[in-house]
């Protein structure tokens, strides 16, 4: 008496027999530019809306979600995150010194730097060139 055997598994046409185990799919160059620009331009908007306290959230989220999918986005999001942490320190110092009039000058300089350098960074990454902030404490390497 012969035992019936099951035919071998055949995936639908055009699909590999087993799912890929290589990790997340890499980003396209257009997506790399888009997420790098978001990491550099969204923080000044959040900083204005939150008096300088939430500017670090966007580059942090971009870095956490896309660091494994693109080396360019990983580097640029870390650079933007480090700059936003540096600005957060400047904002805290400015608010503490607001008792003395000089604190308002520190806040204004930090705000202007965040906008100007954020725009310069966005222009550079739009050309797919890495950008390094001239005033930056690199906490995350």
Does some domain include residue 23?
A: no
Among the residue ranges 14-23, 101-110, 115-124, the one predicted with the least confidence is 14-23
**Confidence tier at 27 by pLDDT (50, 70, 90):** confident
- Does residue 10 register a pLDDT over 80? no
Does some domain include residue 4?
A: no
Distance CA(105)–CA(103), nearest Å, equals 5
Does some domain include residue 133?
A: no
- Does residue 24 register a pLDDT over 60? yes
Instruction: Give the tens place of pLDDT for each residue, 93-119.
Output: 998 998 888 989 998 898 888 889 999
Does some domain include residue 20?
A: no
Residue 45: per-residue pLDDT: 78
Distance CA(10)–CA(65), nearest Å, equals 34
- Does residue 85 register a pLDDT over 80? yes
Nearest to 50 by CA among 94, 91, 1, 8: 91
Task: Check if the beta carbon of residue 91 is closer than 8 Å to that of residue 52.
Answer: yes
Does some domain include residue 35?
A: yes
- In terms of residue numbers, what domain contains 113? 29-126
Does some domain include residue 37?
A: yes
| Number of domains composing the chain | 1
Does some domain include residue 67?
A: yes
């Amino acid at each position: 008496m012969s035992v019936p055997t099951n035919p071998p598994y055949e995936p639908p046409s055009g699909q590999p027999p087993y799912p890929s185990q290589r990790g997340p799919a890499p980003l396209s160059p257009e997506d790399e530019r888009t997420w790098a620009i978001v990491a550099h331009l969204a923080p000044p908007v959040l900083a204005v809306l939150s008096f300088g306290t939430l500017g670090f959230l966007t580059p942090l989220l971009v870095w956490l979600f896309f660091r494994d999918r693109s080396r360019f986005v990983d580097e640029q999001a870390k650079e933007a995150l480090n700059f936003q942490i540096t600005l957060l320190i400047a904002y805290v110092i400015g608010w503490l010194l607001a008792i003395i009039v000089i604190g308002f000058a520190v806040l204004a300089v930090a705000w202007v730097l965040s906008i100007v350098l954020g725009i310069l960074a966005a222009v550079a990454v739009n050309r797919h060139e890495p950008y390094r902030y001239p005033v930056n404490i690199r906490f995350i390497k």
